[in-house]
Amino acid sequence: MTSRSTEARERREGSPHPFGARFVTPLLWGTSLNPINSSILATSLVAIGTAFGVGAGQTAVLVAAVYVASAVAQPAMGRLGEQFGARRVFVGGLVVLTIAGIVGTFAPTFAWLIVSRALIGIGTAAGYPTAMAMIRHRADTARIGIPGGVLGGISIAAQSSAALGLPLGGVLVGVWGWPAAFAVNIPLGLIGLAMALIWLPKDAARPRRGGRELARALDPLGMLLFAASVVALIAVLSDVRHLAWWLVAVFVVALAALILWELRASQPFIDVRMLRRNGPLTRTYLRQTIALAAAYTVLYGYVQWLEDSHGYPASVSGLIMLPMSVVAAAGAAVISRRALIRGPLTISAVALIAGGAAMMVVTSTTNIVLLVALSLLFGVALGFTGTSNQAALYTQTTADQIGVASGLARTASYLGAIFASALIALAYPGRATDAGLHVSAVVVLIAGVAVLALVLLDRRLPSRGH
């Protein structure tokens, strides 16, 4: 029975289904816009590098730009949603995404592409924390437990869109060139905007607040210090071959100032005391960062290696990576209904270890069948990690904290992607070679061991969500 027919049946019985298709569809759409952008871009990096005369290390900035912006904006969007309404912020993000698509499509220089990617990061950042806030509010109002099917749907939508983005990006770039990777955001943003305005219930009326009261609630200084810490960290990682120690000092000072301020703030943007008390949630963020650093190293670095060392066109490299996202979506579907946590995270870590070990021995002459099989291992890790950590987060935080907490979870993911882009720039200073791939493989292997230790040694990590 479809979601729509289930909703209609329960409404006739006097018990409307809280998660009908009209409510869920815009949320799935909004939360999947970031991953589809990531996968589409992965197949267009070589074409962009050729068009603007830049190497793999410089095109990695396009990868980092969206994640830098998103890493800062995700928890900020969660806080804005708490103060102004989750639906309003969700809609605003779609407007920004549409504008970003226009900027990127007509970008005259490489610098404008970076601006477009930053706007894409900000626009797509609104989707996940506001969606989680709306889902939690609806679930608590209906007095139901963890909505595993809906949370799983978000993971599946993200993986499915990533799976679609790989071949779609290859086709778009092959037919219309690199601008298509940015132009696609125009219809994506407009369609999402229409669905959100028509189907999502309006936010409840909020009392008017004075400027001082609103500033206290938003904690703008905390946001600024958090942004400074993240940007400084990215600057440090942008050229790890020639480490700028003054940037390291800026990062340390900004981070220390953030912690000291948030300990004093009456309504902190980043609740440092809560993170210190809530060890399970903090470890969830750490697992997410490490695992996603490994996964994104494969998603971006492996694709570039397929094109540079194997000579495959973008359309073929996208198809080789397609099983990775398909398996990830299937894995998310299997575990989401029961909100499984510990088991899938263990399997994910083992898959990273096995995949890293396999990457250490592949070369430019490796058979394409083995290359596809290797992508399957990382598909398991990608699908299980996101879905299980999402279920863990839902049980480790409260309703009034879930917007910012969910934003921080995505920030953890983006930090993983940023570490991955730094690794790619380090491993591939010019072209993506076998030697560079093997360097990446060692890091992936170490990341898998770290994630496995975090799972096995965490006695407070539940087997499933409640």
Kindly state whether residues 372 and 431 are assigned to the same domain.
Answer: yes
Asked whether residue 9 is domain-assigned, the answer is no
Kindly state whether residues 296 and 286 are assigned to the same domain.
Answer: yes
Asked whether residue 1 is domain-assigned, the answer is no
Kindly state whether residues 311 and 263 are assigned to the same domain.
Answer: no
The pLDDT score that the predictor gives to residue 118 is 92
Q: Across the chain, which distance is largest between two alpha carbons, in Å?
A: 67
- Cβ-proximal residues to 370 (8 Å cutoff; 6+ apart), any chain: 362
Kindly state whether residues 307 and 420 are assigned to the same domain.
Answer: yes
Kindly state whether residues 300 and 426 are assigned to the same domain.
Answer: yes
How many domains would you assign to the chain?
A: 2
Asked whether residue 325 is domain-assigned, the answer is yes
The pLDDT score that the predictor gives to residue 23 is 94
Kindly state whether residues 116 and 175 are assigned to the same domain.
Answer: yes
Asked whether residue 313 is domain-assigned, the answer is yes
Kindly state whether residues 252 and 277 are assigned to the same domain.
Answer: no
Segments of the chain with pLDDT less than 50? 1-15
8 A C-beta contact, residue 462 and residue 392 = yes
Quote the tokens at residue 169. 């990006």
Asked whether residue 156 is domain-assigned, the answer is yes
State how far the alpha carbon of 319 is from the alpha carbons of 165, 329, 368, in Å. 10, 16, 11
Read off the pLDDT of residues 37-65 as tens digits, 9 standing for 90 and up: 877 887 788 889 889 988 776 787 887 78
Task: Single out the residue in 243, 268, 293 at which a domain terminates.
Answer: 268
- Distance, in Å, from the CA atom of 397 to the CA atom of 277, rounded to the nearest integer, reads 12
Kindly state whether residues 93 and 223 are assigned to the same domain.
Answer: no
List, in sequence order, every residue forming a beta bridge with 464; answer none if it has no partner: 340
State how far the alpha carbon of 217 is from the alpha carbons of 68, 126, 250, 462, in Å. 24, 18, 27, 33
Kindly state whether residues 82 and 185 are assigned to the same domain.
Answer: yes
Asked whether residue 282 is domain-assigned, the answer is yes
Kindly state whether residues 70 and 172 are assigned to the same domain.
Answer: yes
Q: What residue type is 268 in one-letter code? A: P
Read off the pLDDT of residues 166-184 as tens digits, 9 standing for 90 and up: 778 888 888 888 999 999 9
State how far the alpha carbon of 85 is from the alpha carbons of 88, 136, 201, 403, 427, in Å. 5, 14, 11, 11, 43
> Which CATH number does the domain housing residue 308 bear?
1.20.1250.20
Asked whether residue 461 is domain-assigned, the answer is no
The whole model's pTM is what?
0.78
Kindly state whether residues 190 and 253 are assigned to the same domain.
Answer: no
- Distance, in Å, from the CA atom of 138 to the CA atom of 19, rounded to the nearest integer, reads 8
Range of the domain at 291: 19-202+269-456
Kindly state whether residues 366 and 396 are assigned to the same domain.
Answer: yes
Asked whether residue 450 is domain-assigned, the answer is yes
Task: Single out the residue in 268, 283, 307 at which a domain terminates.
Answer: 268
The pLDDT score that the predictor gives to residue 16 is 58
